[in-house]
Chain A
Amino acid sequence: MNGPFFINGWIGEEASLIFALFIGIAFGFFLERAGLGSAKKLASQFYGRDMTVFKMMFTAIITAMVGLFWFDYFGWLQLELVYLTPTFVAPQIIGGLVFGVGFIIGGYCPGTSCVAGATGSLDGWVNVIGMLAGILVFGELYPWLESFYNATPMGELTFVDYFNLPAGLMVFILVMIALGGFWLSEKIETKMANKDL
């Protein structure tokens, strides 16, 4: 038995939705437990006072990456079957900027706004409503945005394919960057905390 389960026909559409439900609940639960249901904590990231977001995101990235590498290596998962979001340079740069501005102003990213909403936070709900309204507006404007939406396509890209690197080297580089980042972020936290005093 090896993954991805759905593509290899191990589970059907209904079962995959049940998996998605449990993974989604677990995702929300751990986001909340990591403290990311609080806009103050999220905003502190941008002032360098609390690097939880950085540490949590990078931990998730390297955990998933190391896991995928070794699962693929032992043949438990076929990495080439895992879905990759195609790269569209210009629209993704603009999308990233819009996301970042929204994150700083609202204090939440889409996932954490749902988590905050679930804990009863009013600003969380305002963010969720705003997000849904934004999706509706985007959907209505789609015919005008379509050409930009599909501009500058580069297909499904990975660093490993693009630079022709061994996958393990990429894993090693990112883990080193993450560990260095964790060390540095603790230093920054201490420095910024002292500044406030």
Chain B
Amino acid sequence: MKFSLNLKLAFFALTLSLLALIASIFFTDHLPSENISGSNYITVLDLAESIKNRDSITLIDLRSNEDFDQFHIPTAKNLILPELIDDDFNANTKIVLYSEGDSLSSQAFFALKRKGITKIRVLKGGVQDWYNRLLYPRMPKEVPIEDKALANRVKSLSTYFGGRSEFVDEGNPLDYYKNEQSSQPIFRSKLVRMGC
């Protein structure tokens, strides 16, 4: 019995996809994971504190020049990805990367790691979280007693950088600062878009 080329190709695709299914269920730890782990992130609060304390960090804004001119985190230097790759950094420089969210900074993170620079951290949530969680954080009207210290820390850092807190009724927005996960964007007015 002779099979047509189309049928052979279909069978090939089916085999590869079946193997993919098996591989991703049973053989997941074949390679060291290259995801950014929690310790490679820096939270907006920790970054704000570092800037305030004048720690020696190189803060890099990966967004476009226009976006940078409109708004950036104090002390940041604007380098887009190709510039960052070409730039010569001392291997010991402590670098903090940020972009609109997490994705561009993650790309830059791996690019620098490949160049042998290891002391890199990525600002969790990027400039969005800086704006929404540090400059204009939302606070519960009644702060639970166990969150008082955290609320004060957020409020004082927000004021230091010229922002102001907004008080809300529902939920406890302070949970964000306790959570390791990056937040979903609340507003995204300046997302860099590429496409086909």
Contact = CB atoms under 8 A, between A and B. Distances in A.
Contacts of A13: 82
A153 B185 contact: yes
B13 to A, nearest CB: 5
A168 B24 contact: yes
Given A78-B34, A155-B184, A85 B195 contact: yes
Nearest to B184: A155
Interface stretch (A43-51, A131-139, A175-183): A175-183
A172 interface: yes
B15 to A, nearest CB: 10
B91 interface: no
Nearest to A82: B107
Contacts, number: 97
A84 interface: yes
Contacts of B103: 84, 156
A7 interface: yes
Contact of A172 (B6, B18, B188): B18
Given A66-B13, A85-B195, A8 B20 contact: no
A54 interface: no
A168 B22 CA distance: 7
Interface stretch (B109-117, B130-138, B157-165, B173-181): B109-117
A168 B25 contact: yes
Interface in B115-137: 115
Chain A interface secondary structure, helix, strand, loop or mixed? Answer: helix
Interface size for chain A: under 10, 10 to 19, 20 to 34, or 35 or more residues?
35 or more
B13 A169 contact: no
A172 B193 CA distance: 30
- Chain B contact patch, size range: 35 or more
B111 A179 contact: no
B76 to A, nearest CB: 21
Given A8-B110, A80-B106, A182-B10, A73 B23 contact: yes
B149 interface: no
A168 B21 contact: yes
Contacts of A100: none
A9 B21 contact: no
A83 interface: yes
Given A9-B111, A73-B23, A182-B10, A150 B16 contact: no
Nearest to A73: B23
Interface string B24-53: 110010110011000000000000000000
Contact of B20 (A84, A172, A182): A172
A96 interface: no
B111 A171 contact: no
Interface in B69-103: 81-82, 85, 101, 103
B17 A171 contact: yes
Contacts of A69: 20, 24
9 contacts: A62-B17, A66-B16, A73-B23, A78-B110, A150-B191, A156-B103, A167-B20, A168-B17, A172-B21
Interface of A: 7-9, 12-13, 62-63, 66, 69-70, 73, 75, 78, 80-81, 83-86, 146, 150, 153-156, 166-169, 171-172, 174-176, 178-179, 182
Given A73-B20, A83-B194, 7 more contacts: A13-B82, A62-B13, A69-B20, A153-B191, A169-B24, A178-B13, A179-B14
